Amino acid sequence: MNLHSARARTSLQDRRLAEHVDRLGLEHPPIDLASVDYTVRRPRLFNDRYGHVLDYMARVELEVDRNVLELTTLLPEPPEIDRRFYAEVWQPQEIRHGLILDALQVELGRPPAETDLSSVGVKVRILGALAHLPAFQDVCRMLYYLTGMATERSAVLAYNLLHRGVLDLGERAIARTVIAPIRRQEPGHYAFYQFSARALWDQLAGWQRWMVRRMRTMSFAPVGANNPAQAADFGDVMRALSIGAEPDDFATQISRVEAELLWAHRRGLRVPAYVARALREAVESAEARWAARPPDD
């Protein structure tokens, strides 16, 4: 492809991405808190089955404030479209998801989510320092898009399963005014990251791609699992949503595009080994924690 057509394609991609962000902003304003009906018919049963799922999701949604801090450390000079997406669309929507889920768990008599909104880890700070080099900033951006894809795809799948489970319990108000409006907003986030990841991957040089593969292999974690206890919590969420029995299926679904982009040279690789391993380990640590609980707990 000559330089001229490569540039034409890039500007078309930029325009489509800008349109996508505009549309998300217009069609998906943050959920109106007054539209939520917190009526729960059988709070004890609901809490037993899904209380901890609400807690996990509320925490992850509310922690987007920390994600934005990490992001601005990681990408000191983000492209304008990325800045607009996270500042004007993504963060306002996600915070509302978190507030609603947290209010629901408090309605059920649970304590509110314990969130970490401000600590930026050493790894991110080192990457951020390196990201002042433009070629390295693109590696960081790629890692950010990959994380965004896996996270948002996990959210889409989890909210679908939660919606079905909540309906099965007969909790119609919660399904209709809490879970359905939240899950409607997640695919647009996924689309943003997928689109950005595909476009950027095309532009990376061989050494940058190599670096992305290495760093991704070393750093992948399930959504919201920043330490071993949170990984076990995620394993519990997977069990409650019936994905604990088939973690490889879930791993395959959240990493489909990542496998296609990063590992295309390994034909037939359905799921990156580090994704499958991390999810299997989350389920195993949840099981180990259950087994270690005192009998009357």
Give the other-Cβ count within 10 Å of 283's Cβ: 22
Minimum CB separation of residue 245 from Fe ion in Å reads 25
- Closer residue to Fe ion in complex, CB, 96/216: 96
Count of chain residues binding Fe ion (CB under 5 A): 6
Using rule CB under 5 A, residue 189 touches Fe ion = yes
3-state helix, strand and coil shares in percent for the chain, rounded to the nearest 5: 75, 0, 25
Helix (H/G/I), strand (E/B), else coil: 140: helix
- Using alpha carbons, list the distances in angstroms from residue 66 to 53, 71, 98, 117: 20, 8, 13, 4
- Positions in 149-178 near Fe ion (CB under 5 A): 152
Minimum CB separation of residue 244 from Fe ion in Å reads 22
The DSSP secondary-structure symbol of 76 reads S
Round to whole Å and give the CA distance between 20 and 82. Answer: 12
- Closer residue to Fe ion in complex, CB, 127/162: 162
User: Which range binds Fe ion by CB under 5 A, 34-42, 46-54, 87-95, 266-274?
Assistant: 87-95
Round to whole Å and give the CA distance between 182 and 104. Answer: 13
Minimum CB separation of residue 201 from Fe ion in Å reads 21
Tokens of 39: 């009526």
Minimum CB separation of residue 262 from Fe ion in Å reads 22
- Positions in 56-85 near Fe ion (CB under 5 A): 61
Minimum CB separation of residue 156 from Fe ion in Å reads 8
- Closer residue to Fe ion in complex, CB, 94/236: 94
State which of residues 20, 97, 141, 183 lies at the interface with Fe ion (CB under 5 A): 97
Is 147:123 a contact under the CB 8 Å cutoff? no
- Closer residue to Fe ion in complex, CB, 94/171: 94
Using rule CB under 5 A, residue 186 touches Fe ion = yes
- Closer residue to Fe ion in complex, CB, 20/189: 189
- Closer residue to Fe ion in complex, CB, 137/196: 196
Query: Where does residue 98 rank: exposed (0-12), middle (13-18), buried (19+ CB within 10 A)?
Result: buried
Minimum CB separation of residue 224 from Fe ion in Å reads 11
Is 113:54 a contact under the CB 8 Å cutoff? no
Minimum CB separation of residue 31 from Fe ion in Å reads 10
Give the other-Cβ count within 10 Å of 251's Cβ: 25
Per the listing, tokens 């009526």 go with 39
- Using alpha carbons, list the distances in angstroms from residue 130 to 121, 126, 137: 15, 6, 7
- Closer residue to Fe ion in complex, CB, 188/235: 188
Taking CB under 5 A as the rule, which mask of x and - marks residues 116-155 in contact with Fe ion? ------------------------------------x---
Q: Which residue spans within the chain are E strands per DSSP?
A: none
Q: Which residues bind Fe ion (CB under 5 A)?
A: 61, 94, 97, 152, 186, 189
